[in-house]
Chain A
Amino acid sequence: MENKKTIVIDPVTRIEGHAKITLHLNDQGDVADARFHVTQFRGFEKFCEGRPFTEMPSLMARICGICPVSHLIASAKACDALLAVRIPPAADKLRRVINMAQIVQSHALSVFHLSSPDLLLGMDADPAKSNLWGVFEKDPQLARDGIHLRQFGQQIIERLGGKRIHPAWVVPGGVSQPLSQQDRDAILSAIPEALTIALRTLSWLKKITETFREEVISFGNFPSLFMGTVKENGGITFYDGKIRFGDATGNIAADGLDPARYFDFLGEKVETWSYLKSSYYKPHGFPDGMYRVGPLARLNVVDRCGTELADQELAEFKELQRGAVLSSFHYHLARLIEILYCVERLEHLLNDPEILSKHVRSEAKPNAPEGVGSAEAPRGTLFHHYKIDEHGLIRWANLIIATGQNNLAMNRSVLQVAKHFVRGNALMPGMLNRVEAVIRSYDPCLSCSTHALGEMPLRVQLLDPEGSILAEVVRP
């Protein structure tokens, strides 16, 4: 019988939520298997049962403090379907604005606050310094840029929604308040600086990516499907459109799928070792139907962005690999290109005179017993599906979250990185940091995907088959 040892990374640091990674070693000390476990449980789908559907956007926004707007949008769209209303054009544009503001601030958090220590200081940096303080010290301009871009997105959310976190402004039928000219002008005035920062950071990331060749070839660099929402013309969209699947060769695997019929093409599987369900593309079955969502997937499946600067970057991005861009290391680059696109698109939307219209909400009573809403959240496609009774009370809810859709790919990525870098007989922090870093490239939001917060010191233990600690690395 094979004598197995296990390395446990618990908790994984610099991600949203609680998780651990176990690496199973064989007799030779090489990695035989790896798993990414999500150890928190929440259950929003259950405790919203019995609540009036009109409360759902505000309730669902509480799922997450990082991307509450995505839940607001998907939830409000599901409620629009229950009302069977078409929302006013200004409300449609304003929802797009707040959604893109959130994409900017959330992507900035991922790149600048969570992953910049890896990217700027290197994967082998002293764990005691591989954090934001190390970034502040080494490149204060990068740190200021991160803070500025986060503020840019948060201030738009605050101007529209009244507060930065958990705004209740997106409501069934539209939005609750129109945009004032003063707020519109204030947002527009901040755009040039945001554009400058986005371009400066893109330039920096492209340059330093050359120093991460080993990571590029081993960070989730394998064939898979990619899924995202696209416009009718194949352009990128974060608000609505049809679902497209692309394959590893760069071809379209399925197109024009109705997000309201997600259950026809998406399946979910529960594993006993994680609270995070694994989604798969039904026609290919489990686990062959593994697909990725989020910035990398979106840029792989779209034909264009539709703005000048982002389209230039997209063209360069698509040249990174023959066929689809497979390496999950390039999630970081895709994130920055999406920031650039959002800033450009925000300018277009805010310069549309209709954005200031006072007609921002359609009123109706429930007209359908069931509704689905979907949107592109920072981490990927998000689905909210509700059923109500004759009194408008929620009887059933189902949420399909981006992080769950990346679960199969994240697990395979952990295994690939671990096999490439980890030698159990000579454990080094840099090896294990790479295992965490590949997870960070997906920017998982575990608070969302399990529908908690606390201190996150890193403890890695190498255990023998009896559970005794052979080696331990502790990160403060």
Chain B
Amino acid sequence: MPRVLIIAYGNPLRCDDGLAWRVAEALSQPDLPSDIAIITSHQLTPELAQPISQASTILFLDAARSGVPGDVLSVPLNPQPGSSAFTHNFSPQALLAIAQELYGLSAEAFLISVSGECFDHGDTLSPKVFESLPRVIHHVRELSNRSASAIVPSS
């Protein structure tokens, strides 16, 4: 069971919407700690609730339509049930609520999003979003490490 679960979602064929996939690709190196797992997905589906329930820290990575292109936003998330009849596109908060309802989740979760500029067809990032990649990766690593130090018992 991973300690940290990174869920990178978006459409890699819609320019900046593929930001999370690029971050996931950069993180998925041989030196990735064995207690960190990465899932890439086009959208958030109910099936993700099960792996979410097994980690102690969940990091959602996404591109945002609002804000100044390239800006990185990191916010803690709480479970929040939804009411939509739509079944294959849940919000991160709704997924946390499903994990809580069905599996007794008690993990901490964050949404790290980058404001995008172009969501047209294509597999390249716009310059400002591309420039944000190192900052996003650094922040994800920081949150992952912080989570690790938080659960290591003090000697």
Contact = CB atoms under 8 A, between A and B. Distances in A.
Interface of A: 13-14, 65, 109, 113-114, 117, 128, 130-133, 136-137, 140, 143-144, 146-148, 150-151, 154, 164-165, 453, 455-458, 475-476
By size class, the interface of chain B is: 10 to 19
A146 to B, nearest CB: 8
B102 interface: yes
Contact of B49 (A13, A114, A130, A147): A147
Contacts of A13: 85-86
A163 to B, nearest CB: 8
A131 B49 contact: no
A151 B50 contact: yes
Contacts of A131: 83-85, 87
Contact of A65 (B42, B85, B102, B103): B42
Nearest to A457: B85
B134 interface: no
Nearest to B42: A165
B35 interface: no
16 contacts: A13-B85, A65-B88, A113-B46, A113-B87, A113-B88, A131-B84, A131-B87, A133-B82, A146-B46, A147-B50, A154-B47, A164-B41, A453-B89, A455-B84, A456-B86, A457-B85
B32 to A, nearest CB: 18
B142 interface: no
B98 interface: yes
A137 B102 CA distance: 9
B47 A151 contact: yes
Interface of B: 41-42, 46-47, 49-50, 81-89, 98, 101-103
Given A137-B101, A165-B42, A132 B87 contact: yes
Contacts of A455: 84, 86
Given A136-B101, A144-B102, A147-B50, A456 B42 contact: no
B102 A133 contact: no
A97 B83 CA distance: 36
Contacts of A457: 85
Given A140-B101, A147-B102, A133 B50 contact: no
A148 B102 CA distance: 12
A117 B87 CA distance: 11
A456 B86 CA distance: 7
A429 to B, nearest CB: 12
Contacts of A109: 87
A394 B27 CA distance: 39
A456 B87 CA distance: 10
Contact of B87 (A14, A148, A458, A476): A14
